[in-house]
Amino acid sequence: MLQTRNGKRTAQAALKIACDLVDEGMRTEQEAVAMIDPRNLDTLLHPQFDAKALKAATPLGKGLGASPGAACGKVVFTADDAVAWKERGEKVVLVRLETSPEDITGMKAAQGILTVRGGMTSHAAVVARGMGTCCVSGCSEINMDEENKKFTLAGQTFNEGDPISIDGTTGNIYGQIIPTVPATIAGEFGRVMAWADKYRTLKVRTNADTPADAKKARELGAEGIGLCRTEHMFFGEGRIDAFREMICSSTLEEREKALEKILPMQQSDFEALYEALEGNPVTIRFLDPPLHEFVPTEEADIEALAKTQGKTVEAIKSIIAGLHEFNPMMGHRGCRLAVTYPEIAKMQTKAVIRAAINVQKKHPDWKVEPEIMIPLVGEVKELKFVKKFVVETADAEIAAAGVDLKYEVGTMIEIPRAALTADDIAKEADFFCFGTNDLTQMTFGFSRDDAGKFLTAYYDTKIFENDPFAKLDQVGVGKLMEMAIKLGKPVNPKLHIGICGEHGGDPSSVEFCHKIGLDYVSCSPARRRSFVR
Amino acid sequence: MLQTRNGKRTAQAALKIACDLVDEGMRTEQEAVAMIDPRNLDTLLHPQFDAKALKAATPLGKGLGASPGAACGKVVFTADDAVAWKERGEKVVLVRLETSPEDITGMKAAQGILTVRGGMTSHAAVVARGMGTCCVSGCSEINMDEENKKFTLAGQTFNEGDPISIDGTTGNIYGQIIPTVPATIAGEFGRVMAWADKYRTLKVRTNADTPADAKKARELGAEGIGLCRTEHMFFGEGRIDAFREMICSSTLEEREKALEKILPMQQSDFEALYEALEGNPVTIRFLDPPLHEFVPTEEADIEALAKTQGKTVEAIKSIIAGLHEFNPMMGHRGCRLAVTYPEIAKMQTKAVIRAAINVQKKHPDWKVEPEIMIPLVGEVKELKFVKKFVVETADAEIAAAGVDLKYEVGTMIEIPRAALTADDIAKEADFFCFGTNDLTQMTFGFSRDDAGKFLTAYYDTKIFENDPFAKLDQVGVGKLMEMAIKLGKPVNPKLHIGICGEHGGDPSSVEFCHKIGLDYVSCSPARRRSFVR
């Protein structure tokens, strides 16, 4: 024998081989699970291009493969167009310079998303992975002219309605329609995943912001929600208006009045979440993004808001201009909002507690125990300050209802200083949840939305071998995580610890999380499926 | 005796008492130095309001006291106006929404600077402290209308030419002229500082970007330059044009051609720096800010640039738009520029080495040994990659000149990950210099320019008792610094370590730096005077 190497096999084949080996008594179930490379499984769960058609096609360009799967359709340039075209039965691919929270409905309507700017954890990429929608991001070769609804790539001009296909695994972009075939899950896949569930100790939660997502995730086996981003609930019909009124209020009374309008809507969302989770844990993160992400940009919307508020258009514009930040990622967000506007966190506390009380009443056999998560804490006094009025508000609600309800107040560990001072923070926190997206940004000192500009050079020069936003940097970010656990656990032995960044869906990062003693990982439903049946 | 407390005394009186006690043999020189609160000394070094006139005045509003001293003059709204008014003999106070590097000449021409936005380490505040000019920043009560050259504060409208006075120590703003009296340094001050110099072990360097600053600092006793920010040299006449050509180049050849124009200018600046420092160490930091800080914003300048480059105005605008960043502080800057455009760092290396060779030849008795500092390193491979071509370029220059010249290549420690992996980084670095401005931003996860919006609430609620950008956060940021030293020193015992953030000028922070084993502190000339005679 002169040479040996691993036999290459598709994910399907690997599953079949593993099952056969167990059936023939050659391998134990544990060994069979360990034989499967989890990275292969993701591909199994998304539509792929028809192999024959793909072979005949030549890519025009390449971006980052930001969310797996394949998509084809007609080019549209705005979220509204995506919705309108879909309604009349067209398959569309949404192409944008970059996406923003206002594009969500359009992103949902599209088969795939293609952006000119942004990295693996840009808005488009994160949201697309969350939705399980194919996405190619950061294709800077594209010369975009959003105003005139056209772009050029490799000399070819694309107008609205032109055919395009994108591959969210390879990042390839094609100037034609390549048919896709849906994902199929063969029986072996289910068997292997059942064995994995049987032997693992790490719990698997899901990131879910809507009752629909939560329900779907639960059906797929999620053992809880590790991250519910409450701000995503503010963009719906009727809510965004009230939230904008809150932002543009001049007094505490005005702000509270606007928040009162949102309270019942948040409460009903939370009730539906608790219903979907059937007594499994739900971690609700309080408002995180800076307020300027919510304000209107269109003249007509600004005028409408001015009218509702009884203010002049200039006054509203001045408020919006005042929200401008040089570095929004490091700006007035997270618990800094709760410190400056406690009324927001109080409203969210009421919504969480009232929802939990109602659902617990309906299902006395479930254990509904809200986990309130305060984001972006960097100093224990910050958490203490916010926790004080959260607890006061929660206890008052519970007392008023005359029930007995337990709840927890914990924090994200996503600021380096939180990890460095975790012994102090653990005194006030019932749980830690590593927000490794932000923690990676701050530890490396680069913004995930801007890193695309230089990361290619970093890969080319072998300075980086992986995207630190996709695969956890165990040397630096991981060191902070280990430090936080070592400092926090002795102070508060009951402290439970999870992760809810993108890394919660990456196999090697999950392995590291298991090794350093985390209790659970939480990731977007589409990624979670790789771990949970 | 029922109660005792410290007798309050002015800085002048404290110095007189200390000297008298030594003269009378009641205290040793060391004890006398320790009796002086260094915070008092800063005030002695700047002009103050005439006490009687101040008593009669009522402040209209208040911002942050961002750079000490008092100033009065006529309101101007642009840097150009500040220069023009000064030229015709007027004293002016420059009032701006915020300042940018393009305002430098106007800031120099003004008696004081007042900004609506920005915190203690905003551009205006940092530059003003560097210049020793009075500055009040972040007065958000001001309703600014830059376009029409007017603003309102407390109901009063200020137009161009209206009288104003600002106090950079208290942050007070007055709508009238309050005369100022210049700083006087009595003989006792000199005596006490001479004792301080005699007993201290920590070296004191200065941050200086121009030969003029360096000369002044040297006269005042600086023992070296701890930070020369080379980018400040790019804004001068003739240089900024060449630098903009470099940015808007399409090919490496074009970029190199533009850099060739800058090389002799940088070299002559460095020569003047070495001349001024007379053989004392000079640390030169390579290009740090993102490129978009250098591009023109005025239509006429863009047109001129397009003409020089032989490009269309649209092409130039598209290049400028492409430089946009979501979070510039965490963007494509520091050594990331050197990784993507090695030619910039190579040009800077040539300029440094050629200058050092020339000055060493002229002064064989001096020891000219350049310290090249690579900013924003977060990973050792990054430093290794950049160092490789810096060393190649430097060695080639030295060999071509047929001389023997030693030089060092070190790095800033300003990214949390650099501190966390300092054992790796120390293998490649001759020195560490803590950039505590950025390290504080990343460790706390807030941008110094945006923090003004919520820091007031943090002080009011006692979450913070100090501005972490003014007084070093020993618990969090300091922990990273200690970690970096503990990891780095054993790997490279020759490693010398300094600090060049704003904290290098804050007494309690300097004490901490001494305690954890730093070799030197470096601060702006005006602050350095508190420590060096």
The predicted complex's ipTM stands at: 0.81
CA distance, residue B320 to nearest chain A CA (Å): 14
B69 close to B114: Cβ distance less than 8 angstroms: no
Q: Summarize pLDDT for A96-105 with one digit per residue, the tens.
A: 999 887 788 8
Whether the predicted pLDDT of A27 surpasses 80? yes
Q: Summarize pLDDT for A13-22 with one digit per residue, the tens.
A: 889 999 999 9
Give the E-state strand segments of B250-404 in sequence order.
282-285, 371-374
Are B322 and A140 inside 8 Å of each other by CB? Answer: yes
**A458 touches B at CB < 8 Å:** yes
Q: How far apart are CA B390 and CA B346, in angstroms?
A: 6
Considering chain A, what is the average pLDDT of its residues?
91
pLDDT the model gives residue A102: 77
pLDDT the model gives residue B211: 86
Q: Tell me how many degrees the CA angle B384-B385-B390 measures, rounded to the nearest 5.
A: 90
Q: How far apart are CA A147 and CA A96, in angstroms?
A: 11
pLDDT the model gives residue B217: 79
Per-residue tokens: B144: 């600014």
**A417 touches B at CB < 8 Å:** yes
**A100 touches B at CB < 8 Å:** no
**A286 touches B at CB < 8 Å:** no
* Proportion of chain A in helix, strand, coil states, percent, rounded to 5: 50, 15, 35
Q: Summarize pLDDT for A55-88 with one digit per residue, the tens.
A: 999 999 999 999 888 999 999 999 999 999 999 9
Kindly state the percentage of chain A with pLDDT values over 90: 71
pLDDT the model gives residue B529: 40
**B464 touches A at CB < 8 Å:** yes
pLDDT the model gives residue A221: 78
Kindly state the percentage of chain A with pLDDT values over 70: 97
Q: In one letter, which amino acid is B243? A: F
Are A421 and B476 inside 8 Å of each other by CB? Answer: yes
Average pLDDT over residues A312-317: 92
If DSSP codes are grouped into helix, strand and coil, which group holds residue B204?
strand
- The sign of the torsion formed by the CA atoms of A282, A285, A286, A290 equals negative
Q: How far apart are CA A70 and CA B474, in angstroms?
A: 51
Please state, in angstroms and as integers, the Cα–Cα distance from residue A87 to each residue in A95, A108, A110, A124, B353, following that order. Answer: 18, 12, 11, 22, 66
Whether the predicted pLDDT of B528 surpasses 50? no
Q: How far apart are CA A126 and CA B398, in angstroms?
A: 50
Q: How far apart are CA A408 and CA A418, in angstroms?
A: 19
Average pLDDT over residues B255-271: 94
Average pLDDT over residues B512-516: 96
Residues of chain A positioned with their CB less than 8 A from the CB of B463: 339, 379, 381-382, 385
Q: Which residues pair with A65 in a beta bridge?
A: A136
Per-residue tokens: A500: 């809810």
pLDDT the model gives residue B186: 58
Backbone angles phi, psi at B73, to 5 degrees: 165, -165
Residues of chain A positioned with their CB less than 8 A from the CB of B145: none
Q: Does residue B123 carry a catalytic annotation?
A: yes
Those residues with Cβ within 8 angstroms of residue A219's Cβ, 6 or more apart along the chain or in another chain: none
Give the confidence band of B526 by pLDDT, cuts at 50, 70, 90.
low
Of residues B315 and A3, more confidently modeled: B315
Average pLDDT over residues B261-277: 94
**B148 touches A at CB < 8 Å:** no
Average pLDDT over residues B231-260: 89
Q: How far apart are CA B68 and CA B166, in angstroms?
A: 10
3-state secondary structure string across B444-506 = HCCCCCCCHHHHHHHHHCCCCCCCCCCCCCCCCHHHHHHHHHHHHHHHCCCCEEEECCHHHHC
If DSSP codes are grouped into helix, strand and coil, which group holds residue B376?
coil
Measured between CA atoms, the residue of chain A closest to residue B382 is A463
The Cα diameter of chain B in Å comes to 85
pLDDT the model gives residue B182: 76
**A445 touches B at CB < 8 Å:** yes
pLDDT the model gives residue A185: 57
DSSP secondary structure letters along B69-87: SEEEEEEE-SHHHHHHHHH
Q: Find how far residue B204's CA is from the centre of its chain.
A: 15
pLDDT the model gives residue A374: 98
Per-residue tokens: B448: 């110094």
pLDDT the model gives residue B184: 60
Q: Does residue B232 carry a catalytic annotation?
A: no
pLDDT the model gives residue B322: 87
**Among candidate residues B12, B16, B18, B13, the one with its CA nearest the CA of residue B45:** B12
Report which DSSP code applies to B377. Answer: -
> Which of the following is catalytic: B46, B123, B232, B292?
B123
Considering chain B, what is the average pLDDT of its residues?
91
If DSSP codes are grouped into helix, strand and coil, which group holds residue B157?
strand
pLDDT the model gives residue A528: 41
Are B442 and A445 inside 8 Å of each other by CB? Answer: yes
**Contacts made by residues B503-509, CB under 8 angstroms, sequence distance 24+:** B503/B436, B503/B437, B503/B440, B503/B470, B503/B471, B503/B472, B504/B207, B504/B226, B504/B436, B505/B129, B505/B530, B506/B470, B506/B471, B506/B472, B507/B37, B507/B38, B507/B39, B508/B471, B508/B472, B509/B436, B509/B471, B509/B472
> Which of the following is catalytic: A139, A500, A513, A523?
A500
> Which of the following is catalytic: A46, A123, A232, A292?
A123
If DSSP codes are grouped into helix, strand and coil, which group holds residue B382?
helix
Report which DSSP code applies to B323. Answer: T
**A476 touches B at CB < 8 Å:** yes
Residues of chain B positioned with their CB less than 8 A from the CB of A329: 326-327, 330
Are A330 and B421 inside 8 Å of each other by CB? Answer: no
Name the CA radius of gyration of chain A, rounded: 24
Tokens 């809510």 locate to A239
Please state, in angstroms and as integers, the Cα–Cα distance from residue B199 to each residue in A209, B202, B218, B266, B393, following that order. Answer: 62, 9, 20, 37, 41
Q: Summarize pLDDT for B19-76 with one digit per residue, the tens.
A: 999 999 999 999 999 988 887 777 677 888 998 999 999 999 999 999 888 999 999 9
Q: Summarize pLDDT for B102-119 with one digit per residue, the tens.
A: 788 899 999 999 999 988
For the entire predicted model, the pTM comes to 0.81
Q: Which residues pair with A229 in a beta bridge?
A: A285
pLDDT the model gives residue A531: 36
Q: Which residues pair with B72 in a beta bridge?
A: B165
